[in-house]
Amino acid sequence: MTRTALVVGASVGGVRTAQELRRQGWCGGIVLVGAEPDLPYDKPPLSKQLLAGSWQPEQARLLDSAAAGQDDIELLLGSPAVALDVAGQEVALADGKRLPYDELVLATGAAARPSPWQPESGLYLLRTLSDALALRAALAQARPVVVVGGGFLGAEVASTAQARGCEVTIVDPVPVPMGRTLGDDIGRLFTDLQHAHGVQTRLGHGVERVTGRQGDLQVVLTDGETLRASTVVVAIGAVPNDRWLTGSGLLIDDGVVCDAAGLALGAAAVHAVGDVARWDNPRRGRAVRVEHWTSAVAQAVHVAHRLTHPDDTAPVLPVEYVWTNQHDWQAQVVGVPMDGDRHVVIGDPTGSPARFGVAYADGDRLCGALLVNWPKGMLLARRLLTAGEAFPAAVDRLLAIHR
């Protein structure tokens, strides 16, 4: 009897799961469900090449109809999942379809955290292809832009908008936005980078209200200052797309709570990958939801392997990895720098061009690293983290290849 694997979510986690199932020997049906009508596409280019206009949508495509046909993957696009019946092993879509499954993989990702401010027009979020294309059109006017949120996404939008000729101001209630991930000392380097390229900042003050319409917006800050803008971009984080699972019986707590192999707690045939999933992480001693592209891929490969090789019970322990392009810096972060209690800078952050790294220690072990314009350093740091290298030895090895 033919068995069906149903994958709900058509971003990188869902697409890679479907492809890996076929590559690793799944002989049954594979159905890939996507909420958006667009063919599956990659998310990182949304704030980079697509927003800049150097790429067209098809260049970010993860899977087209021909490739899906070659792998015998059935694509169902344009209708989101709205309910899960675990006992009946069935998923309901918004268009009324009910899809049975033998194995279910949840890969519905995350959505942009909604804006608490709602002017008449001119305010943008950035999470989908349609978001990116709409914002790209707005930035073409090369008028003042206010970016609310100075984390990775907000900083990337700011640098892209500045490169397109816009006057840009970043607003964030914390004094050092990148300090939330990298620590304040290193986070200030990224603020300095924005200033060096003409991006203004209003840090340590929140937004009280946004009024007006596209082309004539007023952003009132908590200190009373009013910023004028043509466009406002809100980048204040993401929330997992798990509300549709309410009432399913799954344990939902900031995502779908899973064991170390991606199996949802309380359901024998339900798995989760990517931004919607909280996997138990023995390395960190708790369940962790990681919004990183590479983690989604590693989880997808692992779940596909477990479904096709059920006797292999080894947990997956991918090293966290995320990258950001800001002006002339390509910054790569591996591991969890925020777990560190101290750090060592390797190289000169003020160099032209900058090429440096930062190693973070949690006690005597290396727990994370930042590498700027240094791909070789990133590869080594990732290997050292995977191997559990002691901090002093890790620093010596990074210093040796930087000279």
Q: Identify the pLDDT of residue 353.
A: 84
Does residue 320 sit within a domain?
A: no
| Structure tokens, 125 | 């979020």
Owner of token pair 């993401």: 238
| Per-residue pLDDT reduced to its tens digit, 36-81 | 999 999 999 999 999 999 999 999 999 999 999 999 999 999 999 9
Q: What is the CATH number of the domain that holds 227?
A: 3.50.50.60
Domain count, the chain: 3
Domain membership of residue 313 (yes or no) is no
One domain for residues 136 and 53: no
Do residues 221 and 171 touch, judged by C-beta distance below 8 A?
Answer: yes
The answer to whether the pTM exceeds 0.75 is yes
- pLDDT at site 72: 97
Q: Which two tokens stand for residue 188?
A: 């200030």
CA distance 215 to 225: 19
* CA 20 – CA 15 distance, rounded (Å): 9
**Pairing state between β 270-272 and 103-106:** parallel
pLDDT value, residue 213: 97
The answer to whether position 321 is within a domain reads: no
Least Cα distance to 374 among 390, 392, 353 occurs for 353
Residues 338 and 198 in one domain: no
Residue 318 belongs to some domain of the structure: no
- Among 124, 182, 119, smallest CA distance to 148 is for 124
The answer to the question of residue 319 being in a domain is no
Q: Which domain holds residue 292?
A: 4-111+239-308
The answer for residues whose C-beta is within 8 angstroms of residue 150's C-beta and 6 or more apart is 158, 170, 171, 172, 174, 177, 178, 191, 201, 203
Same domain, 220 and 277: no
**Digitized pLDDT (tens) for each residue of the chain, 403 residues in all:** 689 999 999 999 999 999 999 999 999 999 999 999 999 999 999 999 999 999 999 999 999 999 999 999 999 999 999 999 999 999 999 999 999 999 999 999 999 999 999 999 999 999 999 999 999 999 998 799 999 999 999 999 999 999 999 999 999 999 999 999 999 999 999 999 999 999 999 999 999 999 999 999 999 999 999 999 999 999 999 999 999 999 999 999 999 999 988 999 989 899 999 999 999 877 777 778 988 898 999 999 999 999 999 887 666 667 889 999 999 999 999 999 999 999 999 999 998 889 999 999 999 999 999 999 999 999 999 999 999 999 999 999 999 999 7
**Final residue of a domain: which of 217, 236, 255?**
236
User: Is 300 in the same domain as 338?
Assistant: no
Same domain, 230 and 157: yes
Q: Tell which of 247, 279, 308 closes a domain.
A: 308
Looking at residue 113, its pLDDT comes to 97
Q: Are residues 260 and 122 in the same domain?
A: no
In the prediction, which pLDDT does 316 show? 65
How confident is the model over 297-313, as pLDDT tens digits?
Answer: 999 999 999 999 988 76
Q: Which of 258, 279, 308 is the last residue of a domain?
A: 308
> Is 87 within a domain?
yes
